[in-house]
Amino acid sequence: KIPIWLDCDPGHDDAVAILLACFLPEFELLGISTSYGNAAAEKTAYNALSLLTAMDKHNQIPVYAGAQKPWVRDAIYAPDIHGHSGLDGTTLLPDPKAPLSTEKTYIQAMSDAIEAYPGSISIVSTGSLTSTATLLRERPCLKSKIKFISIMGGGICVGNRNENETAEFNIWIDPQAANFVLEDPDLSRKCILVPLDLTHKAIATKLVEQRVLSDGHSNLRKLFYDLFIFFGVSYEHAQGFENGAPVHDPLTLFPLLQFYHMKKPEEIGFCYRRFDLKAITQERSPDLGQTTVMKEYSQDSNEGTIVGFDLNFDYFWNQVYYALDVASQV
Ligand code: BDR
Ligand code: CA
């Protein structure tokens, strides 16, 4: 199994990442940290605990409070996309049956997880990079023990902030933390970026929504159906997406299947290029938060960040249906 730590800000698409991280048999989810992002940190923490309760995983997966605010910028949330709770659109979220884990900090918890699986663990980051960058700034000796950092973030030819059309939300909310990871040569080559160029192809169409429900009946299916519907309406209003919302975050798991040789490249179909990237940090720049390409390497090089452009999306959706199936039976 692939040992992973998930740092997230749930979030409708983060919810799908949690589902797949919990139920795809190739992964061993060691813990979750929740950071500010789609909503304030206390809300994303509540959402993660509630989702784990809905999936009956609350006794197995510890959740820690991650980064509470960006390194330099003021915190900015995304109510236009995720609603004020960060996970609006359903009445089916249960009260959490387990609290946040408080016996250690998220820094200590992530550090312990990395020390338990040195060289084989990967961090999956589906919110800002603040938690991951803070961990590695405080404990630089952990850098060499992480296999990959798979990040939903950035855009090479696409952005999704109306204020700044060239930037992607997760990088834009803390570009300084993003650069800590992306500009460090020891870290950048461990990073797998899943940018908007790729995620905008993973649309939860009407067909997907129907499939989520029609494969069987369970509260969990109805919950995810509600989330997809709300997400689709938000994306239509806020970003002009007519066919459904792009389900960004769970895509971060799929390159790992390919790079850990759990699945054949033909099956996963992850296509990528290697770049040195830099996020624009100047507050007054019209390109604040943009991930700029500084240099390109050949694909077989060990240098630069792996940046994804394509994936086998049929495989991806089938894994979503599969995980819902398994989760609905528990
Ligand atoms: C990213 O921003 C958030 O709104 C989503 O959860 C995703 O992680 C997309 O830009
Ligand atoms: Ca997210």
pLDDT tens for 233-275 read 999 999 999 999 999 999 999 999 999 999 999 999 999 999 9
**Ligand number, closest to the Cα atom of 289:** 1
Percent of the chain clearing pLDDT 70 (strictly above): 99
Give the DSSP H/E element, type plus range, for residue 305.
strand 305-310
* Average pLDDT rounded to a whole number, residues 291-295: 97
| Rg over CA atoms, the chain | 18
Residue 28 in tokens:
């061993």
**pLDDT-derived band of residue 166, with 50, 70 and 90 as boundaries?**
confident
- Ligand 2: centre distance to CA 187 (Å): 21
Q: 312, 271 in Cβ contact below 8 A?
A: no
Ligand 2 ion local residues (Cβ < 5 A)? 9, 11, 14, 126-127, 249
**pLDDT-derived band of residue 82, with 50, 70 and 90 as boundaries?**
very high
**pLDDT higher than threshold 80 for residue 162:** no
List the residue whose alpha carbon is closest to atom 4 of ligand 1. Answer: 38
Q: 132, 124 in Cβ contact below 8 A?
A: no
Residue 143 in tokens:
């850098």
For the stretch 106-117, pLDDT in tens is 999 999 999 999
Instruction: Choose which residue among 152, 193, 194 to substitute to test ligand 1 binding: the one with the highest number of ligand atoms within 8 A of its C-beta.
Output: 152
Amino acid making up residue 265:
P
* Average pLDDT rounded to a whole number, residues 289-307: 96
Instruction: Choose which residue among 9, 156, 200 to substitute to test ligand 1 binding: the one with the highest number of ligand atoms within 8 A of its C-beta.
Output: 9
**Ligand number, closest to the Cα atom of 173:** 1
State the pLDDT at residue 81: 97
Residues near 210 by Cβ (< 8 Å), separated by ≥ 6?
Answer: none
**Where does 215-270 have alpha helices with state H?**
219-239, 253-259, 265-268
* Average pLDDT rounded to a whole number, residues 58-84: 98
State the pLDDT at residue 304: 97
> Where on the phi/psi map is residue 216: left (φ > 0), alpha (ψ -120 to 50), or beta?
left
State the pLDDT at residue 329: 87
Give the C-alpha separation, 221 to 31, whole Å.
Answer: 23
Enter the pTM of the model.
0.98
State the pLDDT at residue 135: 98
Q: Which residues pair with 148 in a beta bridge?
A: 122
Higher pLDDT, 163 or 194: 194
**pLDDT higher than threshold 80 for residue 46:** yes
- Whether 248 is a known active-site residue: answer yes
**pLDDT-derived band of residue 89, with 50, 70 and 90 as boundaries?**
very high
**pLDDT-derived band of residue 157, with 50, 70 and 90 as boundaries?**
confident
State the pLDDT at residue 215: 74
- Ligand 1: centre distance to CA 258 (Å): 23
